[in-house]
Structure 1
């Protein structure tokens, strides 16, 4: 049976429609996902992300363990900073994409996707052999609330003792929000400025209600998983199970920058990833801008217009509320991956023309 988050009663009172996701009961939408999406782009949205998995790695060899277990150079990460990285298998396939926060000299917090938290925990524990470090399951110890959007700093500023102007992107600090102790990070998954608040589950309702009250004059609305998906798609952000899978490497995903082959020592998947660098990548992730109003969906086949033969597959697709037309991400043959290339997508038996475009589809004004 799926688990409710500490905020379940609050969501229910707000009229949320729930969905089962990774063994959690999560709010899918509260009313109109289109309205929620637009609120995040123009004002702010409030998200319950308590389904995400928190794992702590602690001890004298914590950095060395993470350097061995992950593809990133984690030992180079400064205290109070965060890094986007991945954990791969021996073949270089992606087991999950992660954010790693360095909380102190010998303490790290690894945040995994909800569906992969157990996989990541098990892999880190297996890879910890020989390292003086402890891998701790902290998934049930934290609730995670995110406020995202251009008004997020204004809304949060009156409720926290943190200097939000000094809290840079991909940084974290101990702070208080609405009088409760939290870990406050300037991170998110929407393409907008925003903050993620790790708090004790017992404090989640109080923090949520304080943010809701403070945000109401600024257009803040509660937002569910449906609009989070359309927001991340517009921002060109990959989703595990769609753009990221165990049969794909970071290089095919267009995220080879997270693989630090120059770091000293061995890491899981290094040999396979080095070999992949030395050989031509045959398929890559691209953006697609379809003609017309029909959005390609995950699993639809991409075709070569010249031959009609399959050359790829769609991983995510939807109408873009911000741009006003359909968008999609897909894997296609490298030879057909240049922006401006004209392709076809089989949309339920109808061949729809689509142009390859650069990612992301949307970038927030700076």
Structure 2
């Protein structure tokens, strides 16, 4: 039985096509369609319901020590309100999940995990909890709205005071408010554009959703679904758990070495990562032949299979088809031609740099 987010009725009223995703019923698109929603975020603004994501608190004198052991990144030297991205590994160096940790204050951290992994992550954290630290799943108390696009900050600033707007990327204001509604205002996103993610009391989600859409009319703000969220993150080459990584893929293989601090004294999975240099690497592919590449399709070079695609789509803003793949380390260089097996025929593609799309400064 799929759960409903606090915005379920709002999606149905707006003509959202509801589908099951990560245990929830969510809109894959609205009547406007995926392409229009994607382009709105690239050129104006889009509003997403991301309430299916999980939120976990870690509190206590040993909270930092617990995070240092559980996660591959380092959380020392963080300012209050600062956010940091990190994979969480198993003992074999595989990726249990990728998540974001916010420092609320000394001894209090707010962790955002992927929806499909909420129970698994929470169980793992509880099993490895030590000392004076407690993990608490607070997901049901929060709804999360993502306001994204070049006009997003302009829309937000119509509804809030300067002190509620984070000054830097990957920072949050924990005691912020938007239109008088208390919110955590976080300068983060999963689209490759400017914007914020707003964490709000579940009971206030519908009111905030309506206020934002009304306030953003002049800027072309529209509601957006899972389809556009996926094409946007793919253009920006952002990895997705269950595609570019899972329990059998190390964060080093999928290009997340920047968030793996091998200089830390210890963390779960460090020994395995040290002992096993990456055998694969994540690459970008631009389709040069005819066809759309999807996930789990064989990638070959000179007749030899070298790996598998992890995600693929046609990108509305770029105007061509792309894919990401995990291939054998050292098997290709930028500019190389490869072939991808699509329904029994070979589709030509070229190895290209990631990200595919980067917003203009």
> What TM-score do the two structures reach when normalised by structure 2?
0.97
1:316 aligns to what?
Answer: 311
Match of 1:141 in 2: 141
| CA distance 1:128–1:298, shift in 2 (3 Å) | same
Aligned with 1:335: secondary structure? coil
Deviations 1:29-88 (A, max 9, x none): 012110000000000000000000000000111011000111111133221100010110
> After superposition, what is the alpha-carbon deviation per residue over 1:125-158, rounded to whole angstroms, capped at 9, x for unaligned?
11113x2111001010100001000000110101
In 2: Cα distance, 1:313 partner to 1:76 partner: 39
CA contact (8 A) 1:82 1:102 kept: yes
Aligned ranges 1:28-177 → 2 under 5 Å? 28-31=28-31, 32-129=33-130, 131-163=131-163, 167-173=167-173, 174-177=175-178
Q: How does 1:1-366 map to 2 (within 5 A)?
A: 1-31=1-31, 32-129=33-130, 131-163=131-163, 167-173=167-173, 174-264=175-265, 266-276=266-276, 279=277, 281-305=278-302, 308-366=303-361
Measured at CA, do residues 155 and 293 of structure 1 come closer, stay the same or move farther in structure 2, by a change above 3 Å?
farther
Q: What is the deviation of 1:165?
A: 6.5
Cα drift, residue 164 of structure 1 = 6.6
SS in 1 for 2:294: coil
Measure, in 2, the Cα distance between the counterparts of 1:144 and 1:169.
18
**Secondary structure class of the residue paired with 2:293:** coil
CA shift for structure 1 position 342: 1.2
Name the CA distance, whole Å, in 2 between partners of 1:112 and 1:296: 28
CA apart distance, 1:310: 1.2
Measure, in 2, the Cα distance between the counterparts of 1:180 and 1:199: 8
Distance (Å, rounded) in 2 between the aligned partners of 1:333 and 1:27: 36
CA contact (8 A) 2:164 2:177 kept: no
Question: For residues 109 and 195 of structure 1, what CA distance do their matches in structure 2 show?
Answer: 16
CA distance in 1, matches of 2:332, 2:68: 32
In 2, distance between residues paired with 1:166 and 1:122?
A: 32
Q: Secondary structure at the match of 1:355?
A: strand
- Contact 2:289 2:349 survives alignment (8 Å): no
Secondary structure of 1:197's aligned partner: strand
Structure 1 CA distance, aligned partners of 2:162 and 2:296?
44
State the number of aligned residues: 359
SS at match of 2:140: coil
**Residue 162 of structure 1: how far off its partner (Å):** 3.8
Q: Which moved more, 1:292-301 or 1:177-186?
A: 292-301
Distance 1:302 1:226 in 2: 25
Give structure 1 stretches of 5+ with no counterpart. Answer: none
Q: Is the 8 A contact 1:63 1:74 kept in 2?
A: yes
* Contact 2:166–2:186 (8 Å) recurs in 1: no
Equivalent-residue separation in structure 2 for 1:198 and 1:245 (angstroms): 26
Comparing 68-77 with 151-160, which one deviates more in the overlay? 68-77
State the TM-score, normalizing by the size of structure 1: 0.96
Contact 1:343 1:354 in 2 (8 A): yes
Aligned mates of 1:249, 1:209 — CA distance in 2: 41
Matched residues in 1 for 2:20 and 2:80: separation? Answer: 36
Structure 2: distance between partners of 1:269 and 1:166:
33
1:293–1:325 CA contact under 8 A, matched in 2: no
Give the RMSD, CA atoms, in angstroms.
Answer: 1.1
Residue 336 of structure 1: SS of its match in structure 2?
A: coil
